[in-house]
Amino acid sequence: MGTIPEGVYAVQQAMHAAPPYAVAEAMRDAVTLHFGVEHVEVLLADYALVSLRPVLEELVPGVPGTLIDGTAAGRAFASQEPQREGRLLHLPVTACGERVGVLSLRLADPLLGAPTVEDLQEIASALGHDLRGADRITDRYQRVRRMARLTLAAEMQWELLPGSCHQGDGYRLAGQLEPAYAVYGDNFDWTCGPRWLSLSVTDGMGAGMEAALLTTLAITALRNARRSGAGLEEQAGLADEAIYGQYGGRLHVSTLLLHFDATTGEVSMVDAGSPRLLLMRNGKVRSVELEQQLPLGMFGHTTYTEQRLALEPGDRLVIASDGVYSSRSLGGTEFGGAPLEALVKSTRMQPADEAVRTMIRGLLDFRRGTEVLDDAVVVCFDWIPAPDDTRP
């Protein structure tokens, strides 16, 4: 057991021993047995990051659940800090930096001390990891998260994602798809290692299933090249050949490939007809001019070249697909200029995951009342080295 408190250890063991579809019940029973807790609920964020939906209590059809905006449970999710509401305690449920939901507890003693709250927060974190593992074996938690049925194209796109948030060694990363329940061609992917991160953001041509199948091929080809040890230029070239071989130039994929070195802050990039890249430094936002190269699959056998960008500690990169920057308001104003830069600037005090949620809400507000012609992806990356980090 080491230094793990007895109650925490007992709850963790109960969750580990439970079948995947019963992790939440096992946690509830163990927590009420070992802690002064009268009622337990697990709330999971829906795909659109609008509401928190209960696992243990069946939700009435048509009811969205607990809204994230304007509620104590929502503040725990958004801030990633415990929130008290009388006898209710709301704890963020997170796994590897990815926000999963909230653990809501009704306490027998409203004056519960800090050490016990810390124990319960450790349980909430363990729950996040167990739920992520359970998702590979049971559909229960995926179904809870859905306020509406996903289109088949959206199902494919969400299955491709590595996650929606990630806290790495010296950086934080988050992304979101919109419309969450009907996205088709936009996606992102990442992989990490010691002190580095590789990221791709893709925008497949077309709509519906055709765009989803195209993007699936592109991401799979990029992963295949990456996992074979290829660098960015070779990844782009091999994916270009794979897409051209399938579609003969009829369809193509706009892609931005990045590789970040957390030791030096250097970003290597390949722009293949890419989404828009913005840099926020010291509260000021500007577009990063990229060397424009052909989208993947346009001609085949295309040679791609890298370019580099030196980041400074505290820098934020925001990547937006054309469904973001090409959106227009009812008055005809394009979102991709001053409105987008102002929105990015407004997120300067928010962590990457909450910044992405803010940007998606801002996009929806901007184009309210207009016909949505394209799906969208927003990815936010922060370089946050520790002040005393001197590792080579």
Query: In Å, what is the CA distance from 259 to each residue of 95, 273, 303, 317, 319?
Result: 23, 17, 18, 13, 14
Per-residue pLDDT band for 279 (boundaries 50, 70, 90) equals: very high
To the nearest whole percent, how much of the chain has pLDDT over 70? 97
pLDDT tens, residue by residue, 357-379: 999 999 999 988 777 778 899 99
Report, as an integer, the average pLDDT of 162-187.
93
Q: Does the structure show a pLDDT above 70 at 119?
A: yes
pLDDT exceeds cutoff 80 at 114: no
Question: Could you tell me if residue 132 is left (phi over 0), alpha (psi between -120 and 50 degrees) or otherwise beta?
Answer: alpha
pLDDT at position 387, please? 64
Q: Which two tokens stand for residue 271?
A: 């722009």
Q: Which sign does the torsion angle of CA 344, 322, 142, 361 carry? A: positive
Separation CA 246–CA 270 (nearest Å) = 22
Cα–Cα distance measured from residue 279 to residue 341, given in angstroms and rounded to the nearest whole number: 9
Average pLDDT estimate for 26-43? 96
Cis before 179 (ω within 30): yes
Give pTM, 2 decimals.
0.92
Phi, psi (deg, nearest 5) at residue 286: -145, 155
CA distance linking residue 348 with residue 388, whole number of Å: 23
Residue 146 has pLDDT above 60, yes or no: yes
pLDDT of residue 388: 60
Rounded distance between C-alpha atoms, residue 199 and residue 222, angstroms: 10
**Does 108 score more than 60 pLDDT?**
yes
pLDDT in tens, 3-18: 889 999 999 999 999 9
- Provide the pLDDT for residue 2: 56
Q: For residues 164 and 194, is the Cβ–Cβ distance under 8 A?
A: no
The pLDDT, as a whole number, for residue 391 is 47
Burial 172-204 (b: 16+ CB within 10 A, else e): bbbbbbbbbbbbbbbbbbbebeebbbbbbbbbb
pLDDT, mean over the chain: 93
In the predicted structure, residue 392 carries a pLDDT above the cut 50: no
Rounded to whole angstroms, the Cα distance separating 221 from 363 reads: 31
Asked if residue 389 has pLDDT above 70, the reply is no
- On the question of pLDDT at 312 being above 80, the answer is yes
* DSSP one-letter code for 251: S
The first and second tokens of residue 84, run together, are 């008290």
Whether the pLDDT of residue 233 is over 80: the answer is yes
